[in-house]
Structures are given as structure tokens and as C-alpha cells.
Amino acid sequence: MAVGTEQHTADGSSGDEEQESSRGRHRRVRRQRSGRLRWWHEVLLIAIGYAIYTLIRNTVPRHGSRATANARDIERWERDLGIFHEHAWNDWLAGQHVLSVVSNYWYAVAHFLVTIGVAVWILWKHPRHARPLRIAWYSTNVFALFGFFFYPLAPPRLMPGFVDTVAKYGLWGSWGKEGSPDGASNPYAAMPSMHIGWSTWCAIVIVVLASRWWVKALGIAYPLITLFVIAGTGNHYFLDAVGGLIALGLGFVTARLLTGAWPFTPERDPPVQLASAKLA
């Protein structure tokens, strides 16, 4: 009689474990399906976030004289550090017509299109990571707005000796005009560089989540190419890029504080409660 009871308990425990495991698998499948059905939500969220970010950035007070003075400080600090090479990069790129045009378009659209593409890919293939990574991205932009407000900075292209590649070679629409001090966009919102912040966010996501080595390589190359573009076109100093990395780091820390786990932390299913434990 005792042997039969023990066998029944063991069979019951095994059945409960299988049932709990099956429920966990079903929950994961539902999350993946719902994520794939809501890919357009991700595009909408990023578009809305970018619109709000742009609106606030462009309403930050423009202090032209202060921004120019800060740019001189940046140049002096970079000379002291031995990293003031933006002028050489800009001078070389300005002499390359085709590459300058490609770089102008890269600067204008790549950071937006690639970020949307990566966000949709996250939701499609890795939906459980979507929320913390989205929080990290939004938080990065919030920290950047503080930089724009408290540290207006003239980009190199508005400083003596640099060439504005957009003004020289042109670009479709009114982007070139809006990038001027009299345009709709705030040219003094240069510190930190969100081109570097966003491209590095994309790179981290791709390197961690992608499975193919060549995709990881493209992810690593993306912020490096972006660094060349922002410096070569005269839109940012190298220290702006450092500021972008700092803002991104703070964004990931904020995601950790708000979600209780670092992005990319594997999600755990609820612990299986054994039938024997229930009986006890």
C-alpha cells in the first residue's frame, strides 16, 4: 500500500512538472506572436519619441556666443588630449565630392532608419528584450536633452577653418538650411552626439543578439562609420561622441533601475511547484 502511494505521488509530480513546463512554453509562444503582430507599434513609438525629442531639442534656447565659446574650449581640450583630428578629417572629406554626398545622406537618415530597423528586429525575433531596450533608448535621449540645454555647443562646421559639406555639395529638401543658425533645427544641440548614442545602441543590440558573425561585424562597423561621418562632415567633435556614449550608459543604468534587471538578462519562467511540496 505504501509503495503504491509513493508511485502515485511520483507520477503526479511528474505530471505537474510537465503541465507547468507546457504552460511556460505556451506563454513564450504567445509573447513572441503578440510581439510579431505589434511590430508597427515599435515604429510608432520610436517615431513619436523622435518627434518629441526633436521638438524639445529645437526649443532649447540658442546661445550662439556661449556655444561658440564652448566649441573653442572643446578644441583646446582635444588639443591637450592629442585627439583634435576633426579638422584633418573634414578637410580630406570636403575634397571628395561623391563621398561627401554619401556622408551627408548617411548623417541625415541612417541614424533614424537603422534604429527603426533594429527596433523592429528586436520585437520580431527577441520580443522579451524589447521593453528594457526601449527604456534604455528613451532614457538616453532624455539625458541628451539635459546636455543640449545646459551645454550649447557650436558644431565644427560653424567654426573657422571647417567646411560645411552640406552647404558645399547640397542635400535634398531643406535640411541644409535648417542646420544653419537661422534654420528651424537647433545647430547648437551638438553635445552629446545622439548619432553616436543611437548607433552604439544598435551595435550593442546586434552584437549581443545576432547569431551570424558577419551581422555582428556590420553592427560593430556601424558606429565606427558614423564616427567618421559626424567628424568628417563637420557636425560633431570627438568629445561629442564621448558624451553620446555617456548618455547611452546612463540610459542602460536607468533601464536597470526601472525594470530590476539589465537589458539582455534572460527571462525566467515561474518556478515549477512540485506536487510533493504541495502535499507537504
Q: For residue range 231-243, list pLDDT tens digits in order.
A: 999 999 999 999 9
For the ranges 13-17, 63-67, 138-142, 220-224, the one whose mean pLDDT is highest: 220-224
Note if the pTM is more than 0.85. no
Distance between CA atoms of residues 162 and 36, nearest Å: 46
* pLDDT, tens only, 67-115: 999 999 999 999 999 999 999 999 999 999 999 999 999 999 998 899 9
On the question of a cis peptide bond just before residue 187, with omega within 30 degrees of 0, the verdict is: no
Query: How many Cβ atoms from other residues are within 10 Å of residue 70's Cβ?
Result: 18
- List the grid coordinates of 262: 539589465
Query: How many Cβ atoms from other residues are within 10 Å of residue 251's Cβ?
Result: 24
* 91 Cβ contact partners less than 8 Å away, ≥ 6 residues apart: 163
What mean pLDDT is predicted for residues 110-133?
A: 90
The yes-or-no verdict on residue 12 having pLDDT over 70 is: no
What is the per-residue pLDDT for 15?
A: 54
Distance between CA atoms of residues 43 and 122, nearest Å: 12
Range in 11-15, 49-53, 225-229 with the lowest mean pLDDT: 11-15
- 244: nearest Cα among 147, 100, 136, 138: 147
* pLDDT, tens only, 235-274: 999 999 999 999 999 999 999 999 888 888 876 554 545 4
* pLDDT, tens only, 154-212: 999 999 999 999 998 877 654 444 444 444 478 888 999 999 999 999 999 999 999 99
What is the per-residue pLDDT for 275?
A: 43
Q: Which residues of 144-169 are buried (b: 16+ CB within 10 A; e: fewer)?
A: bbebbeebbbbbbbbbeebbbbbeeb
What is the per-residue pLDDT for 73?
A: 97
Domain ranges in the chain? 64-266
What is the per-residue pLDDT for 280?
A: 46
Residue 150 carries which side chain, given as an amino acid letter?
F
- 172: nearest Cα among 100, 101, 112: 101
Tell the residue number behind the cell numbers 547569431, with chain if given.
211
